Amino acid sequence: MQTIRANDPRLTWQGAVSLETADDFVMPWRIPHEQRGLFAEALQLRASQAAGVRVSFHSDTSTISGSVVLDAQAEEEAQIDLYCDGEFQGTADILRADEFGFQNLPSGEKLIELWVPQFAQFRLRSLQIDDGATIEPFDDQRPKWITYGSSISHCRAAESPSQTWPAIVARESNLDLTCLGYGGNCHAEPMVARMIRDMPADYISMKVGINIYGAASLSERTFREAIIGFVQIVREKHPDTPFALISSIISPPRETTLNDVGFTMESMREQVEAAAEALRSHGDKHIMYFDGLKLMGADEAHMLPDDVHPSAEGYKIMGGNFLKEIAPTFFV
């Protein structure tokens, strides 16, 4: 077997905003690692978890294995999904083992994509491939999609890393995904807007509401304005990029219940739509509004075990509904 160190330039880290490189590992982050102190501490934790991140390369190897540093904070199964030329090959569990492996890969040169755990810190030491096998970086020419959201985009309960709803949508739509779903930490913060502004993107989406409702972090006076400000910051470098504003999926106990600042989920959806209308009326021709109830509404409420977060099957339904209700208008 030949060993490929995690910092080898022939490995392409996709979906990461930055990489932390130590003596014996590389760890992907979903904020700029060196500037992490400028972000809320709770958001830093979620950004250290690798939702949507892939390690990709071309190779003719028939086997692949890896050595990782275990996440001491992980409380549940951490998994890695393997795809070869876009076809699913299998899932490996790494919660209680510092190694993983896949055998009997398809013959010949192929694109290898390792989808790493969505709800764990992932530190890769090295990969091992067959002696004499080729290895080349993946120069991904697909359109880049950045999606920002809450735990419902982070997808802790997804069946595996490639079965989150953003991953399902990205694979089916042939997009290069960067998932900025931060569990409990989608509050339309300016630092996140600045980060997205400075990243390459062909499509940008923002699914917002549930965290702001739960924390009462914005009120009816500030919510619409925060969304508008967020979009305007991003527009400084992405003036014509298609931008989707998506309101919250259903949460039955919160639909008509006032939170601590007088918001209901129903009224928050109205404000997200109002933000899109205000931006359009001031010349933004590429802003779009989509009702989150089209992704998961009353008919799918039984797929929310805690009345907030979809089940593993619910995330698959969300991905399918996005492909049906949003993608045909948004990804054009």
pLDDT of 14-31, one tens digit each?
A: 999 999 999 999 999 999
Q: In order of start, what are the domains of the chain with their CATH numbers?
A: 2-129 (2.60.120.260), 144-330 (3.40.50.1110)
Residue whose entry in the numeric block shows the structure tokens 């006076």? 221
pLDDT at 270: 98
What is the pTM (predicted TM-score) of this model?
0.96
pLDDT at 225: 98
Q: In the chain, what percentage of residues exceed pLDDT 70?
A: 98
Confidence of residue 94 (pLDDT cuts 50, 70, 90): confident
pLDDT at 149: 98
Q: In the chain, what percentage of residues exceed pLDDT 90?
A: 94
pLDDT at 74: 66
What is the number of other CB atoms lying within 10 angstroms of the CB of residue 25? 18
pLDDT of 72 > 80? The answer is no
Q: pLDDT of 174-188, one tens digit each?
A: 999 999 999 999 999
pLDDT at 321: 98
**Of 169, 180, 65, 78, nearest to 119 (Cα)?**
78
pLDDT (mean) for 262-276: 98
pLDDT of 77 > 80? The answer is no
Residue 165 vs residues 1, 52, 80, 113, 142: alpha-carbon distances, Å:
35, 10, 16, 18, 19
pLDDT at 4: 97
Are residues 12 and 138 in contact, defined by beta-carbon separation less than 8 angstroms? yes
Count of all residues that appear for the chain in the document? 332
Confidence of residue 272 (pLDDT cuts 50, 70, 90): very high
pLDDT at 73: 67
pLDDT of 75 > 70? The answer is no
Q: pLDDT of 182-217, one tens digit each?
A: 999 999 999 999 999 999 999 999 999 999 999 999
Confidence of residue 135 (pLDDT cuts 50, 70, 90): very high
